[in-house]
Amino acid sequence: MSRILRARMIVTLSFIFGFITALPAAAVAQSMPIAMPDNAKAKTYGGGWECNKGYREANGACVAVKIPQNAFGTDRSYGSGWDCKRGYLKSGQSCNLFKVPKNAYLNSAGDSWKCNRGYRETDESCIAVKVPKNAFLTDSSYGTGWECDRGYQPVNETCAAIKIPSNAYLSASANGWKCDRGYRPTRTACIAVKVPKNAYFVDISYGTGWKCNRGFTAVNETCVALKIPPNAHIDFSGDSWDCSPPYRKRDNGCILR
């Protein structure tokens, strides 16, 4: 047997021997019970242990969670391990009573307060909302806390009656007015729309308030009949014309392409 072959056999046998001797040690390590500190239990899933309820892990041990007065323990593995009771706020390692001002109530979370209906928050207190005549209380947390009745509009801290001019009516929003059909608004009045001959009234808030009939075009305050050249027709707008194919527009007439 050569020296090279003999050396390879020695290396192989050494590896096999080492593997066999390691097996009992691994089996012993797996069969050894998990060392748990006091006030701990084995984890439901996986290996290891976890502290019982009311205890927290610290340097390999389970120490009791110190719950201050007006607090309760939690099952969370993070944080302090306790929360303050409703109506108390955490301050360092204690729970202080939450002060609710007069005419207020504790919110659903128990960590803040809100003013009762009819009161508004001002400088950490709740003051009564002053509702003027011809107004009503609202539940909005912003603004004045009141709105004017229908037909009235806010003026400073009061509600003044809306002055509706002739040929007008109160708008749906009840905070202004609109002109009757056939009238247009100015700043303080409704004036009749003058519809010229060969036109009709249009109920829109901009423009002249009227539109020329088809075949007529607006010139100043009148409707003038369109002058349609040969080989042309009234276009889709109704107040101009376009050339019929195969003609095309040039100046004021239609020429072949």
On whether residue 171 sits in a domain, the answer given is yes
Mean pLDDT value of segment 210-218: 96
Q: Are 146 and 136 in contact (CB under 8 A)?
A: yes
On whether residue 239 sits in a domain, the answer given is no
Write b or e for each residue in 55-88: b if 16 or more Cβ atoms lie within 10 A of its Cβ, otherwise e: bbeeeeebeeeebeeebebbeeeeebbbbbeeeb
Write b or e for each residue in 223-252: b if 16 or more Cβ atoms lie within 10 A of its Cβ, otherwise e: beebeeeeebeeeeeebebbbeeebeeeee
Provide the pLDDT for residue 12: 58
CB neighbourhood size of 200 (10 A): 11
On whether residue 240 sits in a domain, the answer given is no
On whether residue 53 sits in a domain, the answer given is yes
On whether residue 81 sits in a domain, the answer given is yes
Rounded to 5 degrees, what angle do the CA atoms 53, 58, 63 make?
45
Mean pLDDT value of segment 102-107: 94
Q: Is the pLDDT higher at 24 or at 238?
A: 238
On whether residue 210 sits in a domain, the answer given is no
Alpha helices in the chain (DSSP H): 3-31
Provide the pLDDT for residue 173: 79
Residue 119 binned pLDDT confidence (cut-offs 50, 70, 90): very high
Q: Above 90 in pLDDT, residue 249?
A: yes
Q: Above 60 in pLDDT, residue 127?
A: yes
Q: Above 60 in pLDDT, residue 75?
A: yes
Q: Which token pair is 29?
A: 């390590």
Provide the pLDDT for residue 125: 92
Q: Which amino acid is at 68?
A: P
Domain residues for 168?
162-191
On whether residue 66 sits in a domain, the answer given is yes
* Of the candidates 198, 199, 169, the residue with the CA atom closest to the CA atom of residue 183: 169
Selection from 32-41, 52-61, 77-86, 165-174 with the highest mean pLDDT: 165-174
On whether residue 60 sits in a domain, the answer given is yes
Overall domain count for the chain: 2
Q: Are 149 and 158 in contact (CB under 8 A)?
A: no
Q: Is the pLDDT higher at 172 or at 78?
A: 172
Provide the pLDDT for residue 81: 85
Instruction: Using a cut of 0.85, tell me whether the model's pTM lies above it.
Output: no
Gap between the Cα atoms of 206 and 187, Å rounded: 14
Location of structure tokens 């009045």: 189
